[in-house]
Amino acid sequence: MDYKDYDFGLVGLGVMGRNFILNVADNNFKAFGYDLDEEKVEALKTEGGDLSKVSASTDIKTFVQALSSPRKIMLLVPAGKIVDQAIESLLPYLDEDDIIIDGGNSFFTDTDRREAYLKDKGIHFFGSGVSGGAEGARKGPSIMPGGDKEAYQHVKPIFEAVSAKYKGEPCVAYLGPKSAGNYVKMVHNGIEYAMMQLTSEIYDLLKKSSGLSNGELHQVYSKWNEGRLQSFLVEITAEIFTQKDDLTDSDLVDMILDKAKQKGTGKWTSQNAMDLGIPVPTIDMAVSMREISALKDERILADNLYNRPEIPSISKEELIEKAEQSLYFAFIIAYAQGLHQLSYASKDYGYELDMATIARIWRAGCIIRAGLLADIAEAYTADKEVPNLLLSPSFVPKVQETLPAVRDMVAFAAKSGIPVPGLSSALSYFDAYTSSKLPLNLIQAQRDHFGSHTYERIDRDGIFHTEWGA
């Protein structure tokens, strides 16, 4: 092995890491991996086959010495203390101006802390969200880097080569300083939570109210994926309905327990949105529904205590048509909420984010990729300062024409006792955001009545307080 001859280093050779490093090698960059687990190191060498451009070691010193300067080292390890431990293990062997890239789902404040810590040591650090799962890592993910702009230039050729491509354009771009990359990936995952919840609710409506078979559901989602709902999540949903269970004679989807797990990025999105004062109720509800799903035993008990209403009659054709319009509307709302949060976070945290750029790098490779993102990129290109997608003139007719169907579907679900909290929250959010008059004047009166919290008036400037009942 020639020391100082490898272009790129990667720490963490699980499935995601191995796939990413093989992608790097496929694009004619020499890549060297590191993992404490000998089996993972050997797995990379085996999967690399005759690739002379990839190698790996369990020895940290050998790993670092194999890399050309400035060293470009990416961490693909679980978020949290393991990232800090990996950084500390590298530091004794690094030189000034070497670069460490965190490719995991680290919380954005941890990225800011690590950047400041390493800057004092002369080491460049940036967080870079990677979306697309194991397959995306191998064939081309969407990559969301942020941090030191000058250091990114050293990594840019590699990232542009390995990223997914949309009509020839790489789905990667420098997003902004500090933790901009990890923050954008966090919100990406929040939108992902919402879109998954919405897709599952529509599935539930179709199955319970019209008794569509899994074969019919496959056909419905496949057809939707050929139209304006074209997206990765709709595509894989159609595919899921065709999978047979190898342990029974049933379809696999019917044998999976209805308890959804989570890794925390959706919750972080909701929590930080509340800190910023930005409403993202559809994302919030997606997180809450995963928590409700975990209460399986309690849900079974409750189901036996309460009667459900009879489901009103509706034709399959009408249901499918209104369901498509509802899902399209709700996808727009999910993107609108996430991008609204990003626009405000950009100002608060100094990220200097460009929403059109973010939409463009999400068009391929990532989990929330969808045809709709091309329209979103155009909307923000036309007006980069628009705070919310619902204020974009190009989206007004898209939303407007779906509203009758959405209202019908939410009402139908309520009458049927079929929970659609994501869709309901999307509609309520829309109705609230587009209302020039809300009943919050009464809340301000209540706050002033019991706590002297003051209020503002509609007819004059200033802050007022009333001695109520006096």
Active site residues: 185, 192
Cα gap 240→15, rounded to integer Å: 22
447 is in an annotated binding site: yes
449 labeled binding residue: no
Per the CB < 8 A criterion, the answer to whether 405 and 322 are in contact is yes
CA nearest to 12, candidates 44, 34, 42, 39: 34
Tell me if 193 is assigned to a ligand binding site.
yes
φ, ψ for residue 338 (rounded to 5)? -65, -45
Is 178 part of any known ligand binding site? no
DSSP annotation string for 70-97? SPEEEE-S-SSHHHHHHHHHHGGG--TT
Cα-only R_g, the chain: 25
What is the SS3 assignment for 425? helix
Cα dist. 91→50, 97, 234 in Å?
A: 32, 12, 44
Contact 382, 392 (CB under 8 A): yes
Long-range CB contacts (< 8 A, 24+ apart) of 120-123?
Answer: 121/91, 122/96, 122/97, 123/91, 123/94, 123/96, 123/97, 123/98, 123/99
The response to whether 105 counts as a known ligand-binding position is yes
Torsion angle of C-alpha atoms 315, 321, 325, 331, degrees rounded to 10: 90
User: 290: annotated binding-site residue?
Assistant: yes
Contact call for residues 320 and 413 (beta carbons, < 8 A): no
330-333 own/partner pairs: CB under 8 Å, 24+ apart: 330/194, 330/198, 330/282, 330/406, 330/422, 330/423, 330/426, 331/195, 331/198, 331/229, 331/231, 331/370, 331/372, 332/372, 332/389, 332/395, 332/398, 332/399, 333/282, 333/426, 333/429, 333/430
What is the rounded CA–CA span in Å between residue 466 and residue 470?
Answer: 9
- The answer to whether the CB of 102 falls within 8 A of the CB of 125 is yes
Q: Is 453 annotated as a binding residue?
A: yes
Query: Which residues are known binding-site members for substrate?
Result: 105, 131-133, 188-189, 193, 263, 290, 447, 453
Query: Which residues are known binding-site members?
Result: 105, 131-133, 188-189, 193, 263, 290, 447, 453
